[in-house]
Structure 1
Amino acid sequence: MGTSWSVRAVSPPPGLAAAVQRILDAVVAEMSPWEPGSDISRFNRSPVGAWQSLPPAFVTVLQAALAVAARSGGAFDPAIGALVDQWGFGPKPGSGAPPDDAAIAAALADAGHARIELDAPCLRARRTRPAELDFSGIAKGYAVDRVAEHLLAQGVVHFLVEVGGELRGAGVKPDGQPWWVDLEMPPDNDFAPTRVALHDIAVATSGDYRRWFAHGGQRYAHSIDPRTGRPLANGVHSVTVLHPQCMLADAWATALTVLGPAEGLALAEAEGLAVLIQSDAGEAMSAGFWAMME
């Protein structure tokens, strides 16, 4: 996934590091568009209209992604691979410059979750029209959950799992303290540091400072609005979501980043999500986030 991972566990079983690496390698083998032989790459090359058999884990992630896409009005969309590539944030090398309007329009015409039909009980999906899946806004969170579930299955109940900055904690540390985590703060901002206790909960953060490129004196962040086909320019610097599932925290952080401060907070309240939004408009917390901080 182009990032690092770590696990802190109380009384871990022998061979834990190797087992975790196998789990993460399996996620990459299914969901990385950088791997030509992965299931997601195979799906993106498949004939339009043809059903493709998929592994159970892949179906789980796709089903969750499509659900968040529907509930967010398309602010989160797992079928914008063509747009991600156009802006140089996918497996195809970018030019270091923004694409022209015609290229954006063409990629936007080949994107959208409504083009993906999922038959979850039969573990299959198909593209009803041209579109390319991209799980970059959900796969890391899913990987965290997979590792956490492996630990729980092995009888490990006190742990902190991290993959690329997304985390899930359970139980407590040996000294009885919870797994305290300082939330990642956007650089060059005056927001107060925030610390959360990850006790049977996960946290994911989406920020405009993680991946970006500059051209012509303008900065282009990797977060792309699926509705416009362009990187965000809504003043949001960081969105953090606390959720029992890291996969859903990851996806919702992306969706709310795209929606912006006001609309994002309104949807977070409607969905009962624990959310912290940091933007040019200031810092805003949903009622669910406030409740967890008390």
Structure 2
Amino acid sequence: MGTSWSARIVDAPSGCAAVIGDVLARVIAQMSNWEAQSDISRFNAQPVGTWTALPCDMMTVLRTGLDVARLSGGAFDPAVGRLVERWGFGPSGITGPLTLQSPVSPWTKIEINGGKARRLADVALDFSGIAKGFAVDAVAQALRDLGVPNFLVEIGGELRGEGVRPDLQPWWVDVEAPPGLTIPVLRIALCNLAAATSGDYRRFRNEGGRLMSHSIDPATGSPVGNDVASVTVLHETAMLADAWATAITVAGPERGMTLATRENLAAHLVLRTPQGAKEYMTPALVAMVE
């Protein structure tokens, strides 16, 4: 997944690291666009219109991604892979030309029937905005299956905390501040709760002085340029926190926070302005931190 993982486990039984490694290997084998033989890469290579049976985990992520795409009006799009490639954020590098050639709302070109899916146009699945969150949830479930009640799991900045620390305190985490911006520290207790952050500083390119974020707006076919520095979402599942953080980032401060409020999400958005950082919080997050 191009990132690191960590797990803090209270009274960890032997073999935890191996179990976590197996879980992550399974996610990569199914959902990594960087692995030519992964299930997602083979699905994207199938002729348009071909039904393909998908593994259970991958189908779960695809169904969830399509649900968030529908609810967000396409701000989150699990089929944006062709555009990700064209802007140089995929395994093939810049494929160009950098114009909108894929269908608008690529997610609408994915069809599901039972355990199978197919592409109705030349679009490509890309789970970079949701797979890390799913992996966090999968690791958490594996630890629960081992009888572990107290842990904090982190993959590339997406977190889930369950139970308490050895000192009986909750798993306190500080929301990451975007580089170059000064904002008050937002500290959250992750008690059976997940947190995911999407930011324009995490993966980007600098072209001619312009910051090119890896988050692609499917409506324009281009990297987002709405000055959203970061979005953090708290949710019962890391998968949904991850997907909604991406959706709100793409939608921008006004539409994104309206979406988050409508969905009763606990969300925090940091906007870059000429005067510095401007923060937004949804009512659900305000109620949580008060």
Q: If the TM-score is normalised by the length of the shorter chain, which range does it land in?
A: over 0.9
Q: Deviations over 1:98-140 (max 9, x none)?
A: x55xx4222x338600000012xx3110111211000000000
The answer to whether the 8 Å contact 2:66/2:107 transfers is: yes
Give yes or no for the alignment of 1:206 onto 2:223: no
* 1:155 Cα deviation after fit: 1.1
What is the aligned partner in structure 2 of residue 140 from structure 1?
132
- Provide the rounded CA distance (Å) in 1 between the counterparts of 2:104 and 2:211: 25
Letter in 2 for 1:185: A
* 1:93 Cα deviation after fit: 2.1
The answer to whether the 8 Å contact 1:213/1:221 transfers is: yes
* 1:47 Cα deviation after fit: 1.3
* 1:277 Cα deviation after fit: 0.6
Which residue of 220, 230, 233 corresponds with 1:238?
Answer: 230
Give yes or no for the alignment of 1:184 onto 2:176: yes
* 1:278 Cα deviation after fit: 0.5
Structure 1: 4+ residue segments shifted above 2 A? 108-111
- 1:1-294 aligned at under 5 Å gives the runs 1-94=1-94, 99-100=96-97, 103-106=98-101, 108-109=102-103, 112-119=106-113, 122-280=114-272, 282-294=278-290
Letter in 1 for 2:142: H
- Provide the rounded CA distance (Å) in 1 between the counterparts of 2:118 and 2:125: 11
Letter in 2 for 1:129: A
- For structure 2, list consecutive stretches of 5 or more residues without a partner in the other structure: none
Q: Deviations over 1:138-161 (max 9, x none)?
A: 000000000001111111111000
Letter in 1 for 2:287: A
The answer to whether the 8 Å contact 1:202/1:244 transfers is: yes
Q: What is the DSSP-based 3-state SS (H/G/I as helix, E as strand, rest coil) of the residue aligned with 2:230?
A: strand
In the alignment of these two chains, the number of paired residues is 286
- TM-score of the superposition, structure 1-length normalised? 0.95
Letter in 1 for 2:160: R
- Provide the rounded CA distance (Å) in 2 between the counterparts of 1:111 and 1:197: 36
- Provide the rounded CA distance (Å) in 2 between the counterparts of 1:216 and 1:241: 32
- Provide the rounded CA distance (Å) in 1 between the counterparts of 2:82 and 2:18: 34
Q: What is the DSSP-based 3-state SS (H/G/I as helix, E as strand, rest coil) of the residue aligned with 1:213?
A: strand
How high is the sequence identity, in percent, across the aligned residues?
Answer: 53
- TM-score of the superposition, structure 2-length normalised? 0.96
The answer to whether the 8 Å contact 2:10/2:151 transfers is: yes
Q: What is the DSSP-based 3-state SS (H/G/I as helix, E as strand, rest coil) of the residue aligned with 2:232?
A: strand
Q: Deviations over 1:32-72 (max 9, x none)?
A: 01101000001000111111001000000000000000000
Kindly report the root-mean-square deviation, in angstroms, between the aligned alpha carbons of the 2 structures.
1.2
- Provide the rounded CA distance (Å) in 1 between the counterparts of 2:54 and 2:103: 25
- Provide the rounded CA distance (Å) in 1 between the counterparts of 2:281 and 2:104: 35
